[in-house]
Amino acid sequence: MMTAEGRTPQARDIAGLPPLVVVIEDEAIVLAGYQMLFESWGYRVIAAQSADEAVALIEEEGGEAPGFILSDFRLRDGQTGTDAITMLRQNFGAGIPGAVVTGDTTVTGEGLKEAEAQGTPILHKPVNGRQLQDILSRSLS
């Protein structure tokens, strides 16, 4: 029997369910690909094209804190993946693990430096599925 020690009341309610992964990516085809990949690994997925959409979808589903957030670095309207992860953490819990995906080959952009400073892993495109699965399983264990 699992104990509820160290879990929020919300976590106890969803104890039997697979972890919730939030993916934020503004390219619909890429977003659909991530969603199918994570679902094939047994995760529940909320897929959104912006941080605002992700927050709205999470709240529609009952406000459960995500177990993991994956965001593309460059989003619409000048938003970054670092901004998106920060926004979700502010809304649902500061300790939510996440990762940023970028096509940039160097970590020179302000937002990428910020992500690195926050301990958020940075994955470079094309994303290696095994590397992504390793980050997810480490973060969710």
Q: How many CB atoms lie within 10 A of CB 100?
A: 27
> Taking residues 109-115, what's their average pLDDT?
71
The predicted-structure confidence for 62-104, as pLDDT tens digits, reads as follows 999 999 999 999 999 999 999 999 999 999 999 999 999 998 7
* Short-list 18, 27, 43, 20, CA closest to 101: 27
Nearest-10 crossing angle of helices 81-92, 51-60: 30
* Short-list 47, 71, 64, CA closest to 120: 71
* Short-list 96, 97, 90, CA closest to 51: 90
Residue 14 predicted with pLDDT over 70: no
**The amino acid at 140:** L
Cβ-proximal residues to 58 (8 Å cutoff; 6+ apart), any chain:
22, 46, 64, 66, 88, 91, 92
41, 136 contact by CB (below 8 A):
yes
Residue 8 predicted with pLDDT over 60: no
**The amino acid at 33:** G
pTM, to two decimals: 0.85
* Short-list 72, 9, 63, 68, CA closest to 38: 68
The predicted-structure confidence for 45-64, as pLDDT tens digits, reads as follows 999 999 999 999 999 999 99
Q: What is the mean pLDDT of the chain?
A: 86
Q: What pLDDT, on a 0 to 100 scale, did the predictor assign at position 34?
A: 96
- The token pair at 65 is 């804190």
